[in-house]
Amino acid sequence: MILGLSLAGAAIGVCLTYFIPKQWEATGILQVGQVANETTPASPISVEPAARALERLRTPQFTNNVLKLLGEPNGTDGSAASVLVQRSLKSTPLSDPGLIQFAVRGYSPDEARRAAQAVADELTRIHAGLMRPSLDKLDADLAEVEQGLITEGKRRDSLSELVKTRGQTAVAGKFSENVLLNEMLADNDKALRLLRLRKNALQELLTEARTFNTHLLAPVEVNGRNAYPRLAPFGAAGLAIGLLLSLLLGTAIEVKRRMQQL
């Protein structure tokens, strides 16, 4: 009897997996963006600390924005798909600083993949807004340097023309004037050199290797098998329940038999 009930429980548990809607899980790894700066070029600043980004991923507002991207309603009146996204979205930090792993489920592989992509898109959108002031500052500095190069370049042309004119007309000029002209040329050379160095530095800070927005390290992945329900756990649970029922039934029969003997 014990064996029969245990096997029956296991069979029922396995059968239930064919009636419960299947859920697939998609996972992704996000790299939090960073912005390089002139103050500490070797230490770019994260768009948002990873710990704060994790908290953001876990807020209802973030999940609601993800559902909007998916075209799904949110709140208690949402569809089964939207409720599943709200309940299943999980995020964890990885050992490498700035990396966040997340997972979300859907009632089909495509639903799970779309939900995971929406999670990445929403965080990317938010971080793009956070890093915009820093990018604007770098762009403005670069534009100022380029304008300075134009101004100093024109000044260089004027000074060169003045030197050429003085040479052609054999105007010796006063010694002090020649010294002043040479100093102006030297100052102009120094200004141009410094501006070119700063332009190169700013362009380096703006490269994708130094300044980038939050992004997926690789396309989101969906497990080949459904994440829920799984045959093994349901079968094991059914087996355990069947075993428990058989023990309880056996105990009840034994108690009844003894009472009849009294």
**How many CB atoms are located within 10 Å of the residue 239 CB?**
20
**CB contact at 8 A, 185 and 177:** no
Could you tell me the CA-to-CA distances from 82 to 53, 69, 109, 182, 220 in Å, in that order?
22, 11, 15, 74, 19
Higher pLDDT, 123 or 42: 123
How far apart are the C-alpha atoms of 98 and 173, rounded to whole Å?
A: 65
Token pair in block for residue 174 = 């006063």
d(CA 233, CA 230): 6
CA dist 198 and 89 (Å) reads 45
> Which of the residue ranges 4-13, 106-115, 245-254 has the most confident prediction, judged by mean pLDDT?
106-115
- The answer for residues whose C-beta is within 8 angstroms of residue 179's C-beta and 6 or more apart is none
d(CA 215, CA 235) in angstroms, rounded, equals: 40
178 or 4: whose pLDDT is higher?
178
Residues 33 and 80: beta-carbon distance below 8 Å:
no
Whether this prediction's pTM lies above 0.85 is answered by: no
Q: Average pLDDT, stretch 170-179?
A: 62
Q: What is the average pLDDT across 8-25?
A: 58
Among 17, 53, 3, 18, smallest CA distance to 32 is for 53
- Mean pLDDT is lowest, of 52-56, 61-65, 148-152, 236-240, for 236-240
pLDDT at 251: 62
pLDDT (average), residues 32-39:
94
The tens digit of pLDDT for each residue in 86-112 reads 999 999 999 998 999 999 999 999 999
Block residue for tokens 């050199």: 193
| Pairing of the two strands 99-106 and 215-216 | unpaired
Contact 66, 57 (CB under 8 A): no
How many angstroms separate the Cα of 1 from the Cα of each of 6, 245, 253?
8, 10, 12
The full set of domain ranges for the chain reads: 21-228
